[in-house]
Amino acid sequence: METKPSQRERLLRYAAENYGTTPEYPWDGTPDAAVLRHMGNQKWYGLLMRIPSEKLGLAPGGTADILNVKCSPLETGSLRQKPGIFPAYHMNKTHWITILLDGTLPEPELFWLLDESYTLTMPKPRKRKEVHP
């Protein structure tokens, strides 16, 4: 019997197919923590981790797969009102949110938030110097 890929696996596949991103695993002490970053400017647009569930105010004793994404400071408050979205764990809480990867947040919305984070962290166009005659 074939098992359905986890939401984390589907998210990593989505990032690979849509952005050509290969996750990086930069920390030996947390081998399941994966960074998603832009190829051009090396900025993070996603961070996947497994953390103790009590860090999110959930029942103690378990673990939770999460995704941190960047979002507009104008949206963080309203997004955190949705089930499955929390203040950013281990990141700037004004610009980042944490999403619980347990299926609470519908996958189209999860992918949309990843898309938004990707857009917000894209390399900025370089300003052209004006040439004065």
What pLDDT does 68 receive? 96
Q: What pLDDT, on the 0 to 100 scale, is given for residue 2? A: 61
Q: What is the reported pTM? A: 0.87
The pLDDT, as a whole number, for residue 123 is 82
> Residue 133: what pLDDT?
60
Could you say which of 3.90.1150.10, 2.60.120.10, 3.50.50.60, 3.90.1150.30 is the CATH number of the domain covering 7-120? Answer: 3.90.1150.30
Distances (CA, A) of 5 to 2, 41, 87, 103, 124: 9, 30, 26, 12, 35
Domain ranges in the chain?
7-120
At residue 65, the pLDDT reads 94
Give strand pairing partners of 36.
46
pLDDT at 17: 97
pLDDT of residue 98: 96
Q: Please list the ranges in the chain whose pLDDT falls under 50.
A: none
